[in-house]
Amino acid sequence: MFGSVVVPADGGCHLLSGCGFPAPSADIFNWPVLATFHLFGIEFHITKPVVLMMIGTALIMAFFLIAGAKSKLVPSRFQSLGEIGYTFVRDQISREVIGKDGDKYVPLLVSLFFFVWVLNLFSVIPGAQFPVTSKFAFPVALALMVWVTYMVLGMKKQGPIKFFTNMMFPPGLPKPIYLILAPIELLSNVFVRPFTLAVRLFANMFAGHLLITIFSIGAWYLLSPSVIGAIGSTASFAMTVALTGFEMFIQFLQAFIFTLLTAVYIGGSLHAEH
Amino acid sequence: MSLLAEVTGSLGPIGYGLAAIGPGIGIGIIFGNGVQAIARQPEAYGVIRQNMLLGFALAEALALIGFVAPFVLK
């Protein structure tokens, strides 16, 4: 969990050992390169987040493959677990936001939800303890995928020009307002949406991981034979535990919100003036 | 012109503090009114919660951009 925070070789960076608080910085998100390979002249680095992502993808695939392998009318335990996950996304997100005709996009939403959630969950799994989505590249790739999906879908369902005019000129407003509204709508729908989608997920996980790291380093640092050390260290450790619980809630919420917003964007592309 | 006051060190945390005021108020209003709406109409829980989370996500994005900015624009 301590990442690349420099701790003296004897492991003794404590309150009264004349050592300042080793506050973590953004450096704890930079992992050493495990392997390199070249593809199309670009150098690719494999680091811990990439390995975690592969493990996460394999876990999700294995889970849903096993859950859906021998589906019966009366489901087995594993199958009903998979069904709970699937119907949760379908009923709570897709049907609420898009409606019945959103059922076609439920597989995409289910994959997105579980992918984001598992990648977030690595933050609290011992051994992994790193939220993969706190590396900006992962949310960016996901947000770009969502962006392409709802842009292409909108152009297909509403027509390539009509999609933009529907977006920029919502009906029923006084004419002069469109002068301001049209560029704002275009900007917010085409450029700001994918940006905030990626930044929201990334910043939440980044901040959460930094918070947990600060308190766990605090617990280690304050560990010293003194009253303030004993109280502070205990309080800091308690905060780490409490924050871990809080983070688990945030991880779920962020995966949910990511999927919810994807559904909203897809719904907006399917139905005009919405 | 003589130097009257000087700020040294990182301004990032101050910027983040300022950036968090607006979204803080916004999120408070969203959840306050959301809970009120659910209390008045419990049967509309699904729609209200969904819209509540949507508004929360949009307001929160501003605070998070403020949080990331000091790291990016060092």
ipTM value, please give it.
0.70
Interface membership of B20 toward A (CB under 8 Å)? no
User: Is the Cβ pair B65, A203 closer than 8 Å?
Assistant: yes
Q: Which of A254, A265, A255 is nearest to A105 (CA)?
A: A265
CB A134 within 8 A of CB A29: yes
User: Is the Cβ pair B65, A97 closer than 8 Å?
Assistant: no
Report pLDDT for A1: 39
Report pLDDT for A226: 83
Residues A146-158 as b/e (b if ≥16 CB within 10 A, e otherwise) read: bbebbbebbeeeb
Instruction: Give me the total of CB pairs closer than 8 Å, taking one residue from chain A and one from chain B.
Output: 39
Report pLDDT for A11: 58
Report pLDDT for A115: 94
Report pLDDT for A273: 59
Interface membership of B9 toward A (CB under 8 Å)? no
CB A170 within 8 A of CB A273: yes
Q: In A33-176, where do the E strands start and end?
A: 35-39, 42-46
Residue type, A46: I
Query: What is the C-alpha separation between A79 and A192, in angstroms, rounded?
Result: 39
pLDDT in tens, B16-55: 888 899 999 999 999 999 999 999 999 988 888 888 888 8
Given a cut of 80, whether residue B69 has pLDDT beyond it is no
User: Is the Cβ pair A260, B57 closer than 8 Å?
Assistant: yes
Interface membership of A97 toward B (CB under 8 Å)? yes
Query: Residue A47: helix, strand or coil by DSSP?
Result: coil
Residues B8-46 as b/e (b if ≥16 CB within 10 A, e otherwise) read: eeeebeeebeebbeebeebbeebeeebeebeeeeeeeee
- Of the candidates B53, B61, B67, the beta carbon closest to that of A260 is on B53
Interface membership of B64 toward A (CB under 8 Å)? yes
Residues of chain A with pLDDT under 50: 1-6, 8-9, 274
Interface membership of B25 toward A (CB under 8 Å)? no
User: Is the Cβ pair B65, A199 closer than 8 Å?
Assistant: yes
Q: Beta-carbon neighbour count of residue A119 at 10 Å?
A: 28
From chain B, pick out residues whose CB is under 8 angstroms from the CB of A202: 68
- Of the candidates B47, B60, B68, the beta carbon closest to that of A96 is on B47
CB B61 within 8 A of CB A200: yes
User: Is the Cβ pair A200, B57 closer than 8 Å?
Assistant: yes
Locate B6 and state its tokens. Answer: 């000087």
CB A108 within 8 A of CB A90: no
Which whole-number Å values give the CA distances from A21 to A17, A104, A215, A243, B36, in the listed order? 11, 53, 11, 20, 44
Q: How far is B10 from chain A (nearest CA, A)?
A: 13
From chain A, pick out residues whose CB is under 8 angstroms from the CB of B58: 196
Given a cut of 80, whether residue B8 has pLDDT beyond it is no
Query: What is the C-alpha separation between A56 and A89, in angstroms, rounded?
Result: 19
Query: What is the C-alpha separation between A174 and A177, in angstroms, rounded?
Result: 6
